[in-house]
Chains A and B, each alone.
Chain A
């Protein structure tokens, strides 16, 4: 048996050919990165999980529309990003209509998502580090969406500029400029931590 892990593209091809365990592997690989991406855009754990499920359902039902010319990661992030942004627009309209105030702040989100256990449950994680984490999370959440998504995809998910350009459907130059401007804003806001 081949010990080399299959590429995402191999997995989706196998899945298209009927191997549903390949789908399980795709879920295993993308569950956490996609969840972090969606959650950071929405700032709502419950909706983020719903949209994560919807993303995988769309992968399942639309598996035959994936073409090997595209990188699988760009396809799945595009689906997740579109869902998250639609939800964000829907929430904005809803908020505007209901004129509610003071809701939706990521940092104050009551339904905070679960953090990866080894970090959250670690009693040795000192107060200062927890504080830094909260600050960094909060400042990322406060970025305008265009910078936030660029920073998340580039500096947290570590996708290439080309991939981000495809996912966000913006020119390469715009991606670079958004990443740089997003970084500059974050650097400015996190000055005291440096």
Chain B
């Protein structure tokens, strides 16, 4: 036999017809037998009907665009921070490595015949991985050139309203964003 406490606990789920049939039968039986729970049902039914009259509010029309802009700002800030952050190697080492890579690529372009035999060995290092996530390089470019800062990376929230086929959003999968504490 179902207790009154369980009856009250299951009441909303029962009303939504989401209870397992066995328990729903028990609820029905209990409501027929128990005056307290019959009263509870009547009162709660009435209240919930009234609550259905309560307003349903919505945020302003600019909400989606504002959110998108806020997230874009955070991403830009994170990219800028990661560009400034001291890496594993000293800056001069990174710069020299970049210079050496540039020189190597320049040589490859100037002397294509000599390295034709093994065209892919070095290419793998400079070809971006075949992934849907265009990484933060473009975002970094945008961050660096503040003149173009307002150019959106991707307008998904708005694009979503404009068209059913929206382009893939670019997510920085590698660099985890610094959290400000969710809980």
Contacts and interface: CB of A to CB of B under 8 A. Distances in A.
B57 A180 contact: no
A10 interface: no
Interface size class of B (residues with CB under 8 A): 35 or more
B160 interface: yes
B71 to A, nearest CB: 5
Contacts of A95: none
Interface string B65-83: 0110011001000000000
Tell me if A's interface is mostly helix, strand, loop or mixed. Answer: helix
B173 A27 contact: no
A114 B62 CA distance: 12
A53 B67 CA distance: 6
A20 B171 contact: yes
A127 B23 CA distance: 42
Interface in A29-73: 31-32, 35-36, 39, 45, 48-49, 52-53, 56-62, 64-65
B51 A32 contact: no
A193 interface: yes
Given A57-B74, A58-B182, A115 B56 contact: yes
Interface stretch (B42-50, B88-96, B137-145): B42-50
Given A60-B71, A155-B47, A31 B59 contact: yes
B72 to A, nearest CB: 11
A74 to B, nearest CB: 11
B146 interface: no
Given A62-B179, A79-B183, A27 B64 contact: yes
B56 A32 contact: yes
B67 A27 contact: yes
B54 A140 contact: yes
A77 B147 CA distance: 38
B47 A183 contact: yes
Contacts, number: 142
Interface stretch (A1-9, A97-105, A128-136): A128-136
A121 B148 CA distance: 41
Contacts of A20: 156, 168-171
A82 B50 contact: no
Given A18-B132, A53-B67, A136-B51, A27 B182 contact: no
21 contacts: A17-B173, A18-B133, A19-B169, A20-B170, A24-B157, A24-B169, A31-B59, A45-B57, A48-B59, A49-B60, A58-B180, A62-B179, A62-B182, A113-B58, A119-B56, A136-B53, A136-B54, A183-B43, A186-B50, A186-B51, A194-B50
Interface of A: 17-21, 23-24, 27-28, 31-32, 35-36, 39, 45, 48-49, 52-53, 56-62, 64-65, 75, 78-79, 82, 113-117, 119, 129, 132-133, 136-137, 140, 151, 154-156, 158, 160-161, 176, 180, 183, 186-187, 190, 193-194
Given A24-B160, A140-B54, 19 more contacts: A17-B173, A18-B171, A20-B168, A21-B156, A35-B57, A35-B58, A36-B56, A45-B57, A57-B74, A60-B177, A65-B182, A113-B59, A136-B51, A137-B54, A137-B55, A155-B47, A160-B13, A176-B9, A186-B51
